[in-house]
Structure 1
Amino acid sequence: MNDVAHPDSISWQHSAESNEGDPCSSNDTSIPEELALLADKYTFSFGEQKSLQKDVIKLKKKIRISCNKQMRIKQGYVQLQ
């Protein structure tokens, strides 16, 4: 068993601690930056932190409604030509 490499526990713990800024980190105190940008673009405000999943679903519906509206406008413009 001498040929088995044992990982250095200090090095991997340090690298896990340095990823605090990643959107996928386990730090649940704020929403991801990408989600905040979408919420800004579609004038959506998030409620309390416990219902983040529900808020994301509402934002998704709002985005779909907006995209469908834009597609209907474009389709009408094409039909006018």
Structure 2
Amino acid sequence: MNAQLLAALILLPFLFVALYAGIHEYLRFRSEGSSNYGLIFDEETGTSYVTSIADAEESFDPEDFDPNDYNDTETGEVKAENRS
């Protein structure tokens, strides 16, 4: 098999994913307008994820993050001892 054909076959799925994401974001932009993306922290699970942030909402600052300060999903209790 030709090396150039092999390289194209390896890169082709990544190209399709990038095109799909670009088309999806363009259609979202046309329907909803511009959006501000940022990190959101979910206190119940102790995880953060990237999503669209509303204008009134504040984004997550990793500098203020304490991994011990979240609700334990198995026991339902708050992990931090000095939590009010």
**TM category, shorter:** 0.3 to 0.5
**Structure showing the higher helix proportion among its residues:** 1
Q: Which protein, 1 or 2, shows the higher relative CO under an 8 Å CA cutoff with sep ≥ 6?
A: 2
- TM-score, normalised on structure 1? 0.33
**Structure showing the higher strand proportion among its residues:** 2
> Whose Rg is larger?
1
